Structure 1
Amino acid sequence: MKKQIIIVFLLFLLFWGYLGTTTSLSSAFNQTSATKIELGRYLFYDTRLSYNGTKSCSSCHDPQFAFTDGYRTSAGADGYNVKRNAPSLLNSRYNLSLTWADSSIKSFESQMLFPLFNEHPKELGWKLNEQQIIRQIESVEFYRILFHKAFPKIQKPITLQNIITAIAKFEDQLVAFGSVYDDYLRGNKKAMNQTAIKGMQLFYSEKLGCGNCHRLTDKPILNKFYNTGLYNIGEEGDYPTADQGLFESTKNSFDKGKFRVPSLRNVMITAPYTHDGTVANIADMIDIYQRGGRFIQDGENRGDGKLNRNKSKLINGFSISQQEKLSLIAFLSCLTDTSFMQQKKILNPFN
Structure 2
Amino acid sequence: MVVPLRFVTCLTGGLLALGASVGITGLPAWRWQGLPGTVSAPAVPADNPMSAVKVALGRRLFYDRALSRDGSMACADCHQQARGFSDGQTTHMGVSGEIGIRNVPGLANVAWRPALTWTEAGISSLEEQALIPMTGTAPVEMGMDGREAELVRRINADPCYRRLFALAFPRNGADASAGKVAMALGAFQRTMISFDSRADRYIGGDRSALSPMAVRGLAQFRTAGCAQCHQGRDFTDAKLHYVGTAAPSEADGSGYGGKPPPPGFVPPPDSFRTPSLRNVAVTGPWLHDGKASTLDEAIRRHAASHLPGIDMDALLAFLDSLTDRAFLTAGHLTKPSAACPVAI
Which whole-Å CA distance do the structure 1 matches of 2:277 and 2:159 have between them?
41
1:43 aligned to 61, 76, 99, which one? 61
Instruction: Please state if 1:330 is matched with 2:343.
Output: no
Secondary structure of the corresponding residue to residue 196 of structure 1 = helix
Secondary structure of the corresponding residue to residue 255 of structure 1 = coil
Query: Which residue does 2:3 correspond to in 1?
Result: none
Query: Which residue does 2:72 correspond to in 1?
Result: 54
Which whole-Å CA distance do the structure 2 matches of 1:57 and 1:287 have between them?
31
CA contact (8 A) 2:66 2:74 kept: yes
Give aligned-pair identity as a percent. 32
Query: Which residue does 1:34 correspond to in 2?
Result: 52
Query: Which residue does 2:151 correspond to in 1?
Result: 133
CA contact (8 A) 1:42 1:349 kept: yes
- 1:37-80 deviation per Cα after TM superposition (whole angstroms, max 9, x unaligned): 10000001100111110001111111011100000001112222
Query: Which residue does 1:340 correspond to in 2?
Result: 327
2:103 aligned to 71, 85, 92, which one? 85
1:271 aligned to 260, 272, 284, which one? 284
Tell me the CA shift for residue 176 of structure 1: 0.6
Give, as a single letter, the amino acid of the residue that structure 1 aligns with 2:332.
K
Query: Which residue does 1:297 correspond to in 2?
Result: none
Tell me the CA shift for residue 156 of structure 1: 4.0
Give, as a single letter, the amino acid of the residue that structure 2 aligns with 1:136.
R
Secondary structure of the corresponding residue to residue 319 of structure 1 = helix
In structure 2, stretches of 5+ residues that fail to align are 1-21, 31-49, 248-264, 339-344
Structure with higher helix content: 1
Which whole-Å CA distance do the structure 1 matches of 2:209 and 2:267 have between them?
43
CA contact (8 A) 2:163 2:174 kept: no
Over the aligned positions, Cα root-mean-square deviation in angstroms equals: 2.4
Give, as a single letter, the amino acid of the residue that structure 2 aligns with 1:318.
L
In the superposition, the TM-score normalised over structure 1's length comes to 0.75
Tell me the CA shift for residue 319 of structure 1: 3.1
1:320 aligned to 305, 309, 315, which one? 309
Which whole-Å CA distance do the structure 2 matches of 1:218 and 1:100 have between them?
16
Which whole-Å CA distance do the structure 1 matches of 2:125 and 2:194 have between them?
19
CA contact (8 A) 2:162 2:174 kept: no
Tell me the CA shift for residue 132 of structure 1: 1.0
Which whole-Å CA distance do the structure 2 matches of 1:231 and 1:273 have between them?
13
Query: Which residue does 1:96 correspond to in 2?
Result: 114
Query: Which residue does 2:275 correspond to in 1?
Result: 262
CA contact (8 A) 1:95 1:223 kept: yes
In structure 1, stretches of 5+ residues that fail to align are 1-22, 233-251, 293-314
How many residues of Structure 1 are paired with residues of Structure 2 in the alignment?
281
> Counterparts in 2 of 1:115-130, with a 5 A limit?
115-130=133-148
CA contact (8 A) 1:179 1:335 kept: yes
- 1:286-330 deviation per Cα after TM superposition (whole angstroms, max 9, x unaligned): 2223xx2xxxxxxxxxxxxxxxxxxxxxx4443325xx1111111
In the superposition, the TM-score normalised over structure 2's length comes to 0.76
1:280 aligned to 282, 289, 293, which one? 293
Which whole-Å CA distance do the structure 1 matches of 2:28 and 2:322 have between them?
35
Which whole-Å CA distance do the structure 1 matches of 2:321 and 2:237 have between them?
24
